[in-house]
Amino acid sequence: MPFRYLEHTADIGIEAWGESKEQAIEEICLALANLIYDTEEVKTREFREIIVDSRTNAGKIVDLLSKILYLIDGEDFLIREVKVDSFKPLIVIVGGEPLNPSLHKMKGIVKAVTHYEASFRKKGNTYRARVYLDI
Is the Cβ of residue 115 or residue 122 nearer to another protein in the bound state? Answer: 115
Q: Is 22 helix (H, G, I), strand (E, B) or coil?
A: helix
Write down the least CB distance from residue 69 to another protein, Å. Answer: 8
DSSP-assigned letter for residue 106: B
Q: Toward another protein, which CB reaches closer, 23 or 31? A: 31
**Nearer Cβ to another protein (93/106):** 106
Terminal alpha carbon distance of the chain: 22
Rounded CA separation 133/115 (Å)? 9
Smallest distance from the beta carbon of 18 to another protein, in angstroms?
24
- The CB-of-67 to another protein minimum distance in angstroms stands at 9
Q: Which is nearer to another protein, 46 or 76 (CB)?
A: 76
Nearer to another protein, 23 or 90 (CB): 90
Q: Which helix (H) or strand (E) holds 135?
A: none
Residue 58: which residues within 8 A CB-CB, separation 6 or more?
Answer: 115, 118, 119, 120
CB of 37 to another protein, least distance (A): 8
Torsion of CA 100, 10, 130, 69, to 10 degrees: 30
Closest CA to 24 of 114, 92, 95: 92
CB of 81 to another protein, least distance (A): 21
Which residues form the interface with another protein (CB under 8 A)? 5, 7-12, 36, 63, 66, 70, 73-76, 99, 101, 106-109, 111-116, 132, 134-135
